[in-house]
């Protein structure tokens, strides 16, 4: 049986208390929400906090509040199942509900939280392996080693952004609140990440993610999430497209497309977005179809599929334009 390493367990009852415990213990500590990412990583010995701070007792981190028109706020400890089943979210943010519903499995979604999903560790099939396995490659840069086996001449780690909600939340312009020893802050989700497989978040040490803030729903924008994976359950995205289009009538006035599962952060498909802004985009219209297909082609270049996930990297890269086009079509009225 694969077992957890030994640790001391803390169970604060509020976010403030949790932050204090984390501050007391420094880098040896780590928060745990649903544990569906942290515990497997601990069993594989890629993360080995000796102080585990469980957030399950923090009632102030759970629940969905606010209104669609003003903006809905979701507590970090809200499970993916509750998010998926929440009637307000279903009505106001179907793309997010869809993205959550294609994460992992129903059992894992009963445990996993939105906060944990936002802070999901980057993945790589040289890294998501047992201690013994990694010993046979003399470890890698992300944990205990110095080479990146995906690109041995590269000075950086290319572990993959693998959360399903992140590309979408970046695209729609959602925000998060964090509290830490230095106080509270609220930032765009997109700013929570940076392009590095190891230091993939900008979250400061000891900072706790408390809430996710969704943008107001005013009928001017539509969003979509499209996921590529081998099986219709369990699997992480090997490509996850978040798309968001704002319209004035039939004309697209703003666009944001993020490519997940194909780089260390949700990569913006800037060129694609540029090509759509100012265009008339109507579902079923041949010209619009063509414009979307052409714009989606531009998603090929920024997609950085490497040989560290499921499926051939070359195919994943070729699939980016296809999936981007599909996500964009979903957004047409």
Ligand X SMILES: Cc1cc2nc3c(=O)[nH]c(=O)nc-3n(C[C@H](O)[C@H](O)[C@H](O)COP(=O)(O)OP(=O)(O)OC[C@H]3O[C@@H](n4cnc5c(N)ncnc54)[C@H](O)[C@@H]3O)c2cc1C
By CB under 6 A, name the binding residues for ligand X: 30-38, 40, 55, 76, 80, 103-104, 108, 111-113, 115-117, 119-121, 162-164, 208-209, 234-236
What SS3 class is residue 319? helix
CA dist 133 and 75 (Å) reads 37
**Scanning residues 145 to 164, which ones bind ligand SF4 (CB under 6 A)?**
148-150, 157-159
Q: Which does 33 bind (CB under 5 to 8 A by kind): ligand SF4, ligand X, other proteins, none?
A: ligand X
Nearest by Cα to 156 from 139, 142, 143? 142
Task: Decide if residue 170 touches ligand SF4 (CB under 6 A).
Answer: no
* Closer to ligand X by Cβ: residue 40 or 145: 40
The 96-135 site mask, x for binding other proteins (CB under 8 A), equals --------xxxxx-xx-------------xx-xxx-xx-x
DSSP strand E in the chain: where?
A: 8-10, 29-32, 51-54, 64-67, 71-75, 175-180, 183-188, 208-213, 221-228, 239-248, 251-260, 267-268
Q: How many residues interact with ligand SF4 (rule CB under 6 A)?
A: 14
Two tokens, residue 194:
């940076």
CB of 123 to ligand X, least distance (A): 9
* Closer to ligand X by Cβ: residue 90 or 177: 177
CB 161 within 8 A of CB 193: yes
Among 21, 23, 54, 277, binds other proteins (CB under 8 A): 54
The residues, ordered by sequence, that sit 6+ positions from 103 with a Cβ below 8 Å of its Cβ are: 80, 109, 112, 117, 164, 165
Q: How is 174-190 classified by DSSP, letter by letter?
A: -EEEEEETTEEEEEEGG
Residues 269-305: b if buried by 16+ CB within 10 A, e if exposed:
beebbebbeebebeeeeeebbebbeebbbbbbebbbb
Among 42, 55, 83, 141, binds ligand SF4 (CB under 6 A): 141
Residue length, the chain?
333
* Closer to ligand SF4 by Cβ: residue 220 or 312: 312
* Closer to ligand X by Cβ: residue 78 or 272: 78
What SS3 class is residue 287? helix
Residue 162 is classified by DSSP as -
Task: Decide if residue 165 touches ligand SF4 (CB under 6 A).
Answer: no
Task: Decide if residue 13 touches other proteins (CB under 8 A).
Answer: no
Which residue number is nearest to ligand X in terms of Cβ?
116
Task: Decide if residue 258 touches ligand SF4 (CB under 6 A).
Answer: no
Binding site for other proteins (CB under 8 A): 1-9, 11, 34-36, 39-40, 43-44, 50, 52, 54, 56, 104-108, 110-111, 125-126, 128-130, 132-133, 135-137, 149, 230-235, 310-312, 314-315, 318-319, 322
């Amino acid at each position: 049986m694969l077992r957890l390493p030994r640790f001391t367990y803390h169970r604060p009852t509020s976010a403030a208390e949790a932050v204090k415990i984390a501050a007391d213990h420094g880098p040896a500590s780590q928060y745990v929400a649903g544990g569906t990412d942290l515990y497997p990583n601990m069993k594989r010995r890629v993360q080995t906090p000796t102080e585990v701070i469980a957030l399950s007792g923090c009632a102030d981190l759970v629940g969905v509040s606010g209104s669609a028109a003003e903006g809905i706020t979701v507590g970090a400890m809200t499970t993916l199942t509750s998010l998926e089943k929440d009637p307000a979210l279903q009505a106001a943010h179907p793309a997010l509900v869809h993205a959550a519903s294609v994460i992992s499995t129903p059992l894992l979604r009963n445990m996993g939280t939105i906060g944990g999903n936002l802070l999901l560790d980057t993945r790589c099939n040289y890294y998501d392996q047992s201690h013994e396995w990694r010993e046979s490659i003399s470890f890698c840069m992300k944990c205990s080693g110095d080479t990146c086996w995906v690109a041995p001449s590269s000075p950086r780690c290319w572990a993959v952004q693998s959360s399903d909600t992140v590309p979408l939340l970046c695209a729609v312009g959602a925000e998060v609140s964090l509290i830490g020893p230095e106080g509270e802050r609220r930032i765009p989700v997109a700013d929570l990440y940076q392009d590095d497989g190891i230091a993939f978040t900008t979250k400061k040490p000891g900072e706790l993610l408390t809430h996710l803030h969704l943008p107001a729903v005013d009928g001017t924008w539509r969003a979509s999430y499209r996921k590529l994976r081998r099986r219709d359950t369990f699997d992480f995205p090997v490509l996850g497209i978040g798309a968001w289009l704002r319209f004035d009538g039939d004309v697209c006035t703003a666009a944001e497309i993020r490519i997940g599962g194909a780089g260390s952060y949700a990569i913006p498909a800037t060129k694609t977005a540029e090509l759509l802004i100012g265009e008339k985009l109507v579902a079923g219209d041949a010209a619009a179809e063509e414009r979307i297909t052409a714009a989606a082609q531009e998603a090929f270049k920024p997609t950085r599929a490497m040989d560290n996930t499921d499926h051939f990297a070359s195919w994943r890269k070729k699939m980016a334009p296809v999936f981007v086009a599909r996500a964009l079509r979903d957004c047409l009225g």
